[in-house]
């Protein structure tokens, strides 16, 4: 099994100009270290809301939007799976990196390590296309979700826990906001 | 229905074009109006904190979002307001049915009512109090003000005003 850093590395083969909203803490810091791009929105606070931010964005723009979230964060905001199940447009994909642990806070175990299946929760919440897969299978499923112009997807990528040594992202929030909005064509002064 | 229509008209003329709601009986008429409005996006959602996230995303995509909720929803949303909307300087209009203000029949609403304005003051969120029908005329400018100052703003509609609708 691969860890999150290895998975985020692999995803760089699939993600091109899609708009990405990435989860708080180590996931964003790892993504920044691997391959910082202006079409990556690093969520620096508000744990749990990366899925919801991506949903709101996908309702406002035509481009493909990918929320990269974690199992611990989805467990914190599980009601949004019902909103996604009922309202997500076809340009929306939720990729849940499920390592069964709260990685950013010291790898404490989450309930997906015990009896909770986010796949079953997402299906029960009404999400129409839910795929659970290994880290190795994630790129092909993400590509399928990006290419499908008629359906939204929830992909749950099962990986192992573990982190790499990393530093906080040196960008301030408004810089992240403005360069991201420039990618959408809304900021011209940068 | 007259007051609800006036509120929606003013929000829209101030630029709001993306609406979410967590229900309140005082918001029921506004929700009915929004459900039938083809010019804007509207959806009900299960929880206010999630709504702050959806509003943030909609703003990133060039919408001016408005979330309609009871004042209790502010209590559910403090971290998302501070560490998302204010951190990234995102304009969002909170259209709040101010439960627990005079006229309120449910005593349990009094607790959150007594702390709502202190919370909004602590968060430095500009407030517009709507106690009379004439106050509603200020909503349009106030909505646009959110965009100008890149900040959430709160419109508080008191119980007696809304119950007459």
CATH number where B19 lies: 3.40.50.970
The alpha-carbon gap from B82 to the nearest alpha carbon of chain A, in Å, equals 8
Predicted ipTM?
A: 0.98
- Quote the CA–CA distance of A4 and A109 in Å, as a whole number: 15
Give which of B59, B73, B88, B147 to mutate to test A binding, by max A Cβ within 10 Å: B88
pLDDT of residue A188: 85
Domains, in order of start, for chain A = 4-184 (3.40.50.970)
In total, chain B counts a number of residues equal to 165
Q: Report the pLDDT averaged over residues A179-186.
A: 96
pLDDT of residue A185: 94
* A38 inside 8 A of chain B by CB: no
| Residue A150 CB partners (closer than 8 Å, separation 6+) | A90
pLDDT tens track for A134-164 = 999 999 999 999 999 999 999 999 999 999 9
pLDDT at A190 over 90: no
Of A52, A176, A186, the CB nearest to B57: A52
pLDDT of residue A182: 97
Of B43, B49, B57, the CB nearest to A57: B57
Residue appearing with tokens 């969002």: B92
Give which of A53, A89, A178 to mutate to test B binding, by max B Cβ within 10 Å: A53
pLDDT of residue A102: 96
pLDDT tens track for A7-16 = 999 999 999 9
Of A43, A60, A80, the CB nearest to B63: A60
Cα separation values, A20 from A52, A57, A143, B65, B123, Å: 12, 10, 14, 20, 29
DSSP string, chain A: ---HHHHHHHHTTT-SS-EEEE-TTHHHHHHHHHH--TTEEE--S-TT-HHHHHHHHHHH-SS-EEEEEEHHHHHHTTHHHHHHHHH--TTEEEEEEE-SEEGGGT-EE-GGGTT--HHHHHHHTT-S-EEEEESTTHHHHHHHHHH-SS--EEEEEE------------S-HHHHHHHHHHHHT-----
pLDDT at A126 over 90: yes
Hey, what are A79's tokens? 């009601």
pLDDT at A133 over 90: yes
CB atoms < 10 A from the CB of A16, how many? 10
Of A77, A173, A181, the CB nearest to B50: A77
pLDDT of residue B164: 80
Using pLDDT thresholds of 50, 70 and 90, give the confidence band for residue A75: very high
pLDDT of residue A33: 97
Q: What are phi and psi of B129, to 5 degrees?
A: -90, 125
Number of domains in chain B: 1
- Quote the CA–CA distance of A143 and A122 in Å, as a whole number: 20
List of chain B residues with pLDDT < 50:
none
Q: Which of residues 111-170 of A touch B (CB under 8 A)?
A: none
- Quote the CA–CA distance of B121 and B116 in Å, as a whole number: 9
In chain A, which residue's Cα lies nearest the Cα of B85? A46
CB contact under 8 A, B54 and A55: yes
pLDDT tens track for A22-58 = 999 999 999 999 999 999 999 999 999 999 999 999 9
What is the domain extent for residue B138? 2-163
Hey, what are B109's tokens? 């609403």
Q: Report the pLDDT averaged over residues A110-122.
A: 97
pLDDT of residue A96: 98
């Amino acid at each position: 099994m691969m860890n999150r850093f290895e998975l985020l590395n692999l995803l760089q083969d699939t993600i091109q100009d899609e708009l990405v909203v990435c989860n708080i803490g180590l996931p964003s810091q790892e993504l920044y270290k691997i391959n910082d791009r202006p079409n990556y929105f690093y969520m620096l606070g508000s744990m749990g809301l990366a899925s919801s931010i991506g949903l709101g964005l996908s309702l406002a723009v035509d481009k493909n939007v990918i929320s990269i979230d974690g199992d611990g964060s989805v467990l914190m905001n599980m009601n949004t799976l019902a909103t996604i199940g009922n309202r997500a447009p076809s340009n929306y994909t939720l990729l849940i990196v499920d390592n069964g642990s709260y990685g950013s806070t010291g790898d404490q175990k989450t309930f997906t390590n015990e009896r909770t299946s986010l796949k079953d929760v997402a299906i029960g919440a009404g999400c129409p296309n839910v795929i659970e897969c290994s880290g190795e299978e994630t790129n092909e499923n993400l590509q399928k979700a990006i290419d499908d112009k008629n359906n939204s997807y929830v992909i749950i990528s099962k990986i192992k826990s573990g982190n790499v040594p990393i530093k906080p992202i040196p960008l301030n929030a408004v810089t992240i906001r403005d360069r991201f909005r420039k990618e959408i064509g809304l900021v011209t002064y940068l | 229905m007259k007051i609800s229509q006036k509120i929606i008209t003013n929000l829209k003329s101030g630029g709001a074009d993306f609406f979410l709601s967590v229900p309140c009986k005082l918001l029921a008429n506004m929700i009915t109006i929004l459900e039938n409005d083809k010019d804007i996006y509207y959806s009900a959602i299960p929880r206010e904190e999630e709504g702050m996230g959806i509003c943030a995303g909609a703003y990133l995509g060039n919408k001016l979002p408005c979330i309609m909720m009871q004042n209790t929803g502010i209590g559910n949303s403090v971290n998302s307001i501070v560490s998302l909307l204010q951190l990234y300087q995102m304009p969002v209009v909170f259209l709040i049915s101010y439960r627990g203000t005079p006229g309120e029949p449910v005593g349990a609403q009094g607790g959150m009512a007594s702390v709502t304005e202190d919370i909004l003051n602590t968060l430095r969120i500009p407030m517009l109090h709507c106690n009379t029908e004439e106050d509603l005329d200020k909503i349009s400018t106030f909505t646009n003000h959110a965009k100008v100052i890149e900040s959430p703003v709160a419109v508080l509609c008191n119980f007696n005003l809304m119950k007459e609708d």
